[in-house]
Amino acid sequence: MKIGIVGLPNIGKSTLFNSITNAGAECANYPFCTIEPNIGVVPVPDERLDVLGKMFESDKITHAVIEFVDIAGLVEGASKGEGLGNKFLSHIRETDAILEVVRCFDDSNVIHVNGNVNPIRDIETINLELELADLETVNKRIDRASKLAKGDKKFLDEENVFKKLRQVLEDGKPARVVELSDEEKELIKDSCLLTMKPILYVANISEDDIGKEDNEYVKKVKEYALNDNSGTIKLCAKIEEDLSTLDDDDKKEMLDALGLDESGLDKVVKASYDLLGLMSYLTAGKTETRAWTIKKGTKAPQAAGKIHTDFERGFIKAEIVSYNDLIENGSIQRAREKGLVRMEGKDYIMQEGDIVEFKFNV
């Protein structure tokens, strides 16, 4: 799964990317420093894997991962090709969700592309460009469907759903606020609309604001996100970058000194996972303990298919114990003796933290 990190130039976007991936993306105090998208694959924090790894004496531990794409700064007019607009928009189109970084601190030493700090203006600048780009896509699809409907009436449905989207976009709202049936979602799936993607706003604060109540900038971002059916996370990208260079012990010491329970980056990764409606099930054994990424609501055979297509094709049943039940009892054998290890069939919907062994026959 790909998450695109977007924002205006010089708001801490590439600093955040460095923090998440420790990949060292170039970071400088001028617009368009990031020309090509930098990509980093990030493990989803999951302490359960370390616990299971010790219990099963696993040779290998494998975390679920998310791919983050650092996309160059957008500016007003991007939908018309301003800056490097069209290229940026195409990179966003390839992602599954968007992290929109917003500057929520004053600093005369860091240039703002619009001259002063105003997070809502910045959000609206980016969101307007995404909406304008989508409007262009939607109009093209309406014209195409209208022509094809003359020879094939099924394109009437496609034309109607895109007209519904056009109305919302013309009202200055994102496509994701439109309620669509499953059939309508299928009709527009290949259009890759930018404003259909879920958004998480990242309020980038100063070091001085860590551990304090939300400043006025952050309050405004949270209020905007609430009305946008989106989420908000507050962090200091500069501190997160410093944390990313430390080993676990030093990181914990620094977090304690800052009065934080976990890094903002761990929150971002977890929230991004939730943003996409994902969850993990676990497999554990001597060879490997691993988290497998699936959509919430996935049934057992399809979950098995994440490991290998043969597992899904020849699915018989799944032997499952919940993580909490296993840890409370100390071993699979004790959990089995208490009747906590159960067999589930093809209609079982996987739950977060299920530890599974699939039975199949091909």
Question: DSSP class of residue 214?
Answer: P
C-alpha 139/C-alpha 137 separation (Å) is 6
Q: What distance lies between CA 285 and its chain's CA centroid?
A: 29
Handedness of CA 246, 247, 250, 252 (dihedral sign): positive
What does the pLDDT look like over 164-204, one tens digit per residue?
999 999 998 899 889 999 899 999 988 989 999 999 999 99
- Structure confidence at residue 218 as a pLDDT band (50, 70, 90): very high
CA angle 254, 46, 101 (to 5 degrees): 65
Please list, in sequence order, all residues whose beta carbon lies within 8 angstroms of the beta carbon of residue 84, skipping any fewer than 6 positions away: 32, 35, 72
Please give the Cα distance from 226 to 231 (Å, whole number): 7
79 versus 255: the higher-pLDDT residue is 255
In sequence order, which ranges of 106-195 are alpha helices (DSSP H)? 119-149, 154-170, 182-188
The CB density around residue 173, as the number of other CB atoms within 10 Å, is 15
User: What letter would DSSP give residue 190?
Assistant: G
Q: What are the backbone dihedrals phi and psi of residue 13, each rounded to the nearest 5 degrees, phi first?
A: -65, -50
Q: What is the pLDDT of residues 267-313, one digit of tens each?
A: 888 888 888 889 999 999 999 999 999 999 999 999 999 999 999 99
Would you tell me how many other CB atoms lie within 10 Å of the CB of residue 323?
A: 19
Dihedral angle, C-alpha 228, 230, 236, 240, nearest 10 °: -150
Distance CA 17, CA 352 (A): 28
Q: What is the pLDDT of residues 331-355, one digit of tens each?
A: 999 999 999 999 999 999 999 999 9
Q: pLDDT tens digits for 133-157? A: 899 999 999 999 998 988 777 789 9
**What is the C-alpha to C-alpha distance for residues 125 and 120, in angstroms, rounded to an integer?**
8
Is the confidence at residue 34, as pLDDT, over 80? Answer: no
Beta-sheet strands, E only, within 56-140: 61-62, 65-70, 97-103
Query: What domains lie within the chain, and their CATH numbers?
Result: 2-275 (3.40.50.300), 297-360 (3.10.20.30)
pLDDT tens-digit series, residues 3-18: 888 888 778 888 888 8
- 47 with 94: CB under 8 angstroms? no
Backbone angles phi, psi at 80, to 5 degrees: -105, 10
Closest by CA position to 300, among listed 285, 319, 287, 284: 319
Q: Give the per-residue pLDDT at 33.
A: 38
CB contact set of 121 (below 8 Å; sequence gap of 6+): 114
Q: What local confidence, expressed as pLDDT, does residue 24 receive?
A: 41
